[in-house]
Structure 1
Amino acid sequence: MNARSVRPRRRILLALAATTLLVGPLAACSADDGGAAGGGEGDAVTGATIAIAGPQSGDPYYVQVACGAQAAGTKLGMDVGELQAPQNQNQAQLTTIVQNVLTSAPDALIYTPADPVAGGIPIQTAREDGVTVIDVDAQLDDDALYDSFVASNHYEGAKEITAYLAELIGGEGQIAAIGSLATNPITQARIKGFEDALKDYPDIEVVSISYPEISADVIQANAASTLVKYPDLKAIYTTNFLNSTGAAVALRNAGVVGDVKMVSWDAGAANVELLQEGVLQATVAQQPYAMGELAIEQIAKKLKGEEVDQTVDAPVEILTSEDVDSPEGQKLWYKTECD
């Protein structure tokens, strides 16, 4: 670089330096006079106490929600507690846990109810006390009970995994779906997305949409019956890992693993194993860790007096049997502890 090109740049840098020297004292005065408002917003976040309550202890999905919240909260100087949850999805027990958690007067609560109606009972007290509530994954019926709802877009995720399955079977043939709890909003969204995605595949026939009892034996029997009734069946879509686990037994017993394709939801240990074995071709990997991060983001907004988002869609990805063991694929596994 020649001297002519250096001198103009040097003058610009000097001018910027001079401006900085002038602005510095002014900024300091501004902070003393009126800048305290900005510091106040920061103080509202720093040191804020965040409680986490969910439907089941030890479940990798909810463990990861807590991990994401703790990591994001720590970066902001928040005090984020451990996941408090019953051993199974029992709302009565969860209600007692939430009531106990609220006695410590947290600034915010990250909450996943086990029941959309009864789950709102302990939250009424929190709202009366001005506690910020972020509903994660399972939505309460009364949206007045939470500030923001963070969850996967189950409808769009269902459309995406169904399109993948449709292409996998060449866009034609018979397909069956196995859901759970027909009245559950999540199941409904996952079935609706499945049905709507197949409107783009007129040569695919949906021969069965069933909702067996949540029991491994019942689900297995349901899938086995479907395989017998429809010997030309090309694929099975399941709405959760319990259904894919039960259907997997039926596929093995019938000797049609790989011939009848199957996709599911979630990347817990059961579905990861089925992917590795080639029984399951793909699954929708939700990202509970990201949900925890997004929950903290909404809490920070609320504490600073900013407008929060009523609904926040968490990202989902398709995890396939081909990439399940890749470094990127392993990042989507639901882990039982924080990294």
Structure 2
Amino acid sequence: MNSTASTTSRSRRTLTAAAATVLLLGPLAACSSTAPESGGAGDDPVAGATIAIAGPQSGDPYYVQVACGAQAAGAKLGMDVGELQAPQNQNQAQLTTIVQNMLTNAPDALIYTPADPVAGGIPVQSARADGVTVIDVDAQLDDEELYDSFIASNHYEGAKEITAYLAELIGGEGQIAAIGSLATNPITQARIKGFEDALEEYPDIEVVSISYPEISADVIQANAASTLVKYPDLKAIYTTNYLNSTGAAVALRNANVVGAVKMVSWDAGAANIELLEEGVLQATVAQQPFAMGELAIEQIANQLRGDEVSKTVDAPVEILTSEDVDTPKGESLRYKTECS
């Protein structure tokens, strides 16, 4: 989820061959599931397995949905999946303490999104030594030996897809600018690389600016406003996260060019949904954190059963447009704050 709070960590077209298993989600009190009564499970090591979930930020609908997906999938398999445990504001030190406390209960597996790719590995070192299955979701740890499987969106392919959509939207010609965050962040890099590579198919489109403003709403707004002044014929803006699109939206409104200058972004949280409904944003890449939770449970089940575990799994993403944001499809792609 590459919102600024998680850059270190986050026409219907599925962009990955790794589709999540379709599972029905029932009401999940407090976002937790309980293993059903025994009977019929036989010797399946999955039934009754305990799963802990830790993420980088409490209350963030993206990570809530990862937990919801895991809860739903785990319930189908008779697992006991705990509630999402997370600190405020991406604090890895607090997250480390949370994970260490969770591990004292000796879970069979841990679904984990670190807040830092290096320091985030510290709390799972003991888990690995104790044989706990670790599934890294969304934000990749630097040391791949610390997890059994890494599950995330393919940011490069998603960027290519949304950029192609934007290019067609402006008729395959004209000036376009990109706004990213944290140039050294691998997620940002993949989203910019996909943007650049997609435009190789559109020789009549000129990229006039790729900027990485400070992570501040005011700075992002000023950056976009400056770009609009410098390039009065600008036809489109590509942003790599919702904070960039939110800041750029203010600049578009102030310049009275909403709709005339097209904009696309990443993620389907409340901010981008509102921009889609207002027509300020034409499309966004909707990641599917619920599916990530399902896929995490799938890999845990494989590990517990002694089946093959995929080291890397691409989660599905979809293009959500202003035209379908209020349709049943659009509703299903929104990041919700609770399991439903």
User: Structures share a fold, TM > 0.5?
Assistant: yes
- 1:1-339 matches, within 5 Å, as 39-40=42-43, 42=44, 44-339=45-340
| Higher relative contact order (CA closer than 8 Å, sequence separation 6+) | 2
Which amino acid is the alignment partner of residue 142 of structure 1?
Answer: D
Deviations 1:204-232 (A, max 9, x none): 00011111111111110111111111111
Task: Say which SS state the counterpart of residue 331 (structure 1) adopts.
Answer: helix
| Cα distance in structure 1, aligned partners of 2:297 and 2:175 | 44
| Cα distance in structure 2, aligned partners of 1:293 and 1:95 | 24
Which amino acid is the alignment partner of residue 254 of structure 2?
Answer: N
Which amino acid is the alignment partner of residue 193 of structure 1?
Answer: G
| Cα distance in structure 2, aligned partners of 1:183 and 1:84 | 28
Unaligned runs of 5+ in 2: 1-40
| Cα distance in structure 2, aligned partners of 1:187 and 1:81 | 31
With the length of structure 1 as denominator, give the TM-score of the two structures: 0.88
| Cα distance in structure 2, aligned partners of 1:220 and 1:98 | 37
Which amino acid is the alignment partner of residue 333 of structure 1?
Answer: R
| Cα distance in structure 1, aligned partners of 2:49 and 2:224 | 49
Shift of 1:123: 0.9
Q: Which protein is bigger by CA-based radius of gyration?
A: 1
Deviations 1:35-94 (A, max 9, x none): xxx943x1x100000000000000000000000000000110000001000011111111
Task: Say which SS state the counterpart of residue 139 (structure 2) adopts.
Answer: coil
Deviations 1:114-170 (A, max 9, x none): 111111111111101110000000000110000000110000000000000000000
In the alignment of these two chains, the number of paired residues is 300
Task: Say which SS state the counterpart of residue 251 (structure 1) adopts.
Answer: helix
Which amino acid is the alignment partner of residue 85 of structure 1?
Answer: A
RMSD of aligned Cα (Å): 0.8
| Cα distance in structure 1, aligned partners of 2:95 and 2:216 | 23
Deviations 1:301-321 (A, max 9, x none): 000011100111100000000
**Structure number with higher helix proportion:** 1
| Cα distance in structure 1, aligned partners of 2:199 and 2:42 | 53
| Cα distance in structure 2, aligned partners of 1:216 and 1:46 | 47
| Cα distance in structure 1, aligned partners of 2:211 and 2:102 | 39
Task: Say which SS state the counterpart of residue 160 (structure 1) adopts.
Answer: helix
Task: Say which SS state the counterpart of residue 319 (structure 1) adopts.
Answer: strand
| Cα distance in structure 1, aligned partners of 2:100 and 2:187 | 26
Matched with 1:30 is none
| Cα distance in structure 1, aligned partners of 2:42 and 2:203 | 60
Which amino acid is the alignment partner of residue 169 of structure 2?
Answer: L
Which amino acid is the alignment partner of residue 284 of structure 1?
Answer: V
Matched with 2:31 is none
| Cα distance in structure 2, aligned partners of 1:299 and 1:214 | 36
Which amino acid is the alignment partner of residue 150 of structure 2?
Answer: F
| Cα distance in structure 2, aligned partners of 1:184 and 1:146 | 20
| Aligned-residue identity in percent | 89
Shift of 1:106: 0.5
Structure 1 runs of 4+ with >4 Å offset = none
With the length of structure 2 as denominator, give the TM-score of the two structures: 0.87
Unaligned runs of 5+ in 1: 1-37
Matched with 2:12 is none
| Cα distance in structure 1, aligned partners of 2:332 and 2:42 | 37
| Cα distance in structure 1, aligned partners of 2:215 and 2:334 | 23
Shift of 1:107: 0.3
